[in-house]
Amino acid sequence: MRNALLCMAAVVWAPITDLRPGRRVGRRAMKGIVTRVSPVKAYRKGDGTQGRMFSLLMTDESGSVKVCVFGNGVLKFSHHPLPGEEFILTNFKVLPAKQEFNWAENAFEVHLDGAPRHISVRVCV
């Protein structure tokens, strides 16, 4: 527990409204409450293989953002998120939102889709 606290001390907290599309966000973290969740869905990737994903809407005091969780990112959650739970996310990508699928009023969305060791998801208790 102490190591987790020390590790999080080196992270810069980013309010949702400060996130901008660009490169992967490594040393920044986003903390928010889940306000909406989709079920896990199967989809076909461009290479023909099967993938898994789900989406959630995270809200903090500054606003809301859609979080898309793909592939190995799905495995990082110890359980399927529930509305009202609070999570800390690190090492995510901020991308322009696909407006036809966007639940939030933002022009961007957060993607968790990398190798499991590169994504950090913590439930706040």
Average pLDDT value for residue range 18-42: 83
Instruction: Report the pLDDT value the prediction gives residue 71, as an integer from 0 to 100.
Output: 84
Instruction: Report the pLDDT value the prediction gives residue 83, as an integer from 0 to 100.
Output: 92
**CA nearest 89: which of 112, 115, 72?**
112
Instruction: Report the pLDDT value the prediction gives residue 61, as an integer from 0 to 100.
Output: 93
- 2-124: which CATH topology? OB fold (Dihydrolipoamide Acetyltransferase, E2P) (2.40.50)
**54-100 tens-digit pLDDT:** 999 999 999 999 999 988 788 777 788 889 998 888 878 888 988 77
Instruction: Report the pLDDT value the prediction gives residue 41, as an integer from 0 to 100.
Output: 92
- Residue ranges of domains in the chain: 2-124
Instruction: Report the pLDDT value the prediction gives residue 26, as an integer from 0 to 100.
Output: 62
Outline where DSSP puts E strands in the chain. 12-13, 24-37, 41-44, 50-60, 63-70, 86-96, 108-112, 120-124
66 vs 11: which has the higher pLDDT: 66
Instruction: Report the pLDDT value the prediction gives residue 19, as an integer from 0 to 100.
Output: 85
Instruction: Report the pLDDT value the prediction gives residue 102, as an integer from 0 to 100.
Output: 73
Instruction: Report the pLDDT value the prediction gives residue 2, as an integer from 0 to 100.
Output: 39
Residues 34 and 7: beta-carbon distance below 8 Å = no
